[in-house]
């Protein structure tokens, strides 16, 4: 009798876990439409939390994790990239991009749903260190319970087609995606 109750309780617990997981995934799909109305336009300045550049051993990974979600970025830096010029990269040297359909004042993201599988939002936690990027230009915009980094008000992204540091395969994609410069403007140079 006790063994039967344990089995029933285990089955009920497992069923509950599956139902909760299904609710979470359907909520994610429902809340990732591409209309600007789904975007959370609340932006905050990150300059209070920006600090000077760390050594290479102090930075943490920022490339997408194995599950396809972005891991937090802790640093942005200006780099010269062949054919493009001066652009901003993350702590792994991956080029950061801005999207012409987003808004800078106030900061608002419009890339959602399927878009974020190709253009991964740059997520930050508390502190963002800089090298060659003016700290006062950094900020964040709320995105589904996380903070997406902004530069000059523009939400920042990584391109999934950039697989190595210094690549700019996303430059001028769809004539709306551009590598971001240290001042927050888009690089109009195509390599």
CB of 155 closer than 8 Å to CB of 98 = yes
CB of 174 closer than 8 Å to CB of 140 = no
Q: Grade residue 10 by pLDDT with cuts at 50, 70 and 90.
A: very low
Which stretches does DSSP call E strand in the chain?
43-45, 51-52, 75-81, 85-90, 96-99, 103-104, 107-108, 119-121, 123-124, 129-131, 138-143, 146-151, 154-155, 157-159, 177-179
Q: Grade residue 83 by pLDDT with cuts at 50, 70 and 90.
A: confident
Kindly write down the DSSP assignment for every residue of 140-151, as one continuous string: EEEETTEEEEEE
CB of 98 closer than 8 Å to CB of 151 = yes
Give the pLDDT confidence score for residue 13 in this predicted structure.
44
Tokens of 86: 């001066």
Residues 86-106 have a mean pLDDT of: 97
Give the pLDDT confidence score for residue 156 in this predicted structure.
98
Residues 32-45 have a mean pLDDT of: 41
Whose tokens are 């990732």? That residue is: 32
The Cα–Cα gap between 173 and 183 comes to 21
pLDDT in tens, 122-171: 999 988 999 999 999 999 999 999 999 999 999 999 999 999 999 999 99
Q: Which of 126, 107, 127 has its CA nearest to residue 43?
A: 107
């Amino acid at each position: 009798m006790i063994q039967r109750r344990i089995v029933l309780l285990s089955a009920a617990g497992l069923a509950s876990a599956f139902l909760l997981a299904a609710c979470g995934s359907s909520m994610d799909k429902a809340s990732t439409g591409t209309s600007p109305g789904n975007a959370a336009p609340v932006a905050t300045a990150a300059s209070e939390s920006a600090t000077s550049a760390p050594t290479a051993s102090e930075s943490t990974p920022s490339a997408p994790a194995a599950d396809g979600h972005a891991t937090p970025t802790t640093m942005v830096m200006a780099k010269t990239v062949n054919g493009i010029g001066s652009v901003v990269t993350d702590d792994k040297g991956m080029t950061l991009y801005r999207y012409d359909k987003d808004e800078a004042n106030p900061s608002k993201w419009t890339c959602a749903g399927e878009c974020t599988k190709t253009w991964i939002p740059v997520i930050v936690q508390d502190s963002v260190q800089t090298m060659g990027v003016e700290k006062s230009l950094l900020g964040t915009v709320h995105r589904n319970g996380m903070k997406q980094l902004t530069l000059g008000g523009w939400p920042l992204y990584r391109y999934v087609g950039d697989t190595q540091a210094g690549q700019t395969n996303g430059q001028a994609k769809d004539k709306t995606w551009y590598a971001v410069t240290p001042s927050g403007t888009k690089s109009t140079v195509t390599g």
